[in-house]
Amino acid sequence: MNGICTLCTKPAKLIDSHLMPKSVYRSISKGSAGHGQNIVLINGFNRSAVYSDKQAKKHLLCESCELKFSMNGEDKVIPLMARPNGFKLATKIKKFKPLFHTEDEIWYFPPNDETAFNFMYFAASIAWRLSATDWSGFGIPETKNSIHKESMTAFSDYLLRNTEHPTNTYLAIYVDNQIVDTPSMSFPAIKNHEGHQHIVFSIPGIKFSMLAGSDHTSGVREIFSINKSNVYFVSRSLKSHPDYHFMVNFLKHEAVAKGRLLKEREKIHNGRIN
C-alpha cells in the first residue's frame, strides 16, 4: 500500500507495522502450555478481557523507518525478555551497578550507553506507535493523539535519530526477579498527571514505565539527574507490583467477559469441561 510514512512523512510503500512486536505474540503463544495461541488481552480502560490472537497492525511506516525500529529497539530488547527456555535480562541485571535498594526493589544503572539507548528507543517506539494512529479496532480505546504533542515531537525527533535523547523522558525498566510462569503482554496504557504523562506497557518478564513531559515532581528529576541516559533497570517481583494485583483482581472479579472468554465461562457454569 502506498501512502505517507507517519514518522518521516515521506511518500512511500507502507509496511504492515505492529503495535507490539510480532515476535512477542509468537513467543507467548508458543510458551503458554495448554493455551494454544490464545492470548488474553486485558483492557483496564473499558474493564474487559478478551482472548485474542488478532495481532494489532496497521500500514504506518515506510521500510526505512520500520527498519530503524527493528535495528535500534526490537532486535536488541526482544531476545532479552522471558521465554520458556530462559530469561536473559534477569541473569544480566545481577551484574549491573546498583544505585539503591528498597525493601522490594533494587535499582540499577544501565550497563552501558548502548543498552540504555536500545531500551529507550524500544519504549519510545511503542509509545509513539500508540499515539500516532488510532488502534481502537483492536480492543483498546481511541489512541490517536493520546500522548501530548510536545512528547510526540520529542519521540519523533529521537526515533528519526535527530536527537540523542527524547527530551523530558524518563524510563524505568522493571525486570521480574521471580519465575515468569504466566508470560503476558499488555498494550500501552496512559495515566495523565498535571504536566506529564505516565506510559506503561509490558512484554514477558519486563515492564516499561515511562514518564514523559516537562513538569515532573522533583523526586523524579533527582533520581534521574545522576544518570544522563535517563534509564534505570529495576529488579523486583512483578507479581507483587500493584499493577499485577489490579490485573488479577480484575480477571477474578471485575472483567466484563467478552467473546470466547464469555463462552468458556458459560461452559464452566453449565458444568461442561472440554
Which residues here bind Zn ion, judged by CB under 5 A? 5, 7-8, 62, 65
Q: Which of 61, 69, 77, 55 is nearest to 187 (CA)?
A: 55
Minimum distance, C-beta of residue 254 to Zn ion, in the bound complex (Å): 40
The amino acid at residue 86 is: G
Sequence-distant (≥ 6) Cβ neighbours of residue 181 within 8 angstroms = none
* Cα angle value 120/123/124 (rounded, 5°): 80
Pairing of strands 256-257, 231-236: unpaired
Of 65 and 81, CB closest to Zn ion? 65
Radius of gyration (Cα) for the chain, nearest Å? 19
Rounded Cα distance, 234 and 241, in Å: 12
Of 17 and 168, CB closest to Zn ion? 17
Pairing of strands 196-203, 169-176: unpaired
Minimum distance, C-beta of residue 6 to Zn ion, in the bound complex (Å): 8
Of 59 and 216, CB closest to Zn ion? 59
Minimum distance, C-beta of residue 161 to Zn ion, in the bound complex (Å): 12
Of 5 and 152, CB closest to Zn ion? 5
Minimum distance, C-beta of residue 8 to Zn ion, in the bound complex (Å): 3
Minimum distance, C-beta of residue 135 to Zn ion, in the bound complex (Å): 19
Of 160 and 256, CB closest to Zn ion? 160
Of 5 and 231, CB closest to Zn ion? 5
Beta-bridge partners for 100: 107
Pairing of strands 256-257, 48-51: parallel
Minimum distance, C-beta of residue 21 to Zn ion, in the bound complex (Å): 18
* Cα angle value 257/259/263 (rounded, 5°): 80
Adjacency order of strands within the sheet including 57-62:
2-4, 11-18, 57-62
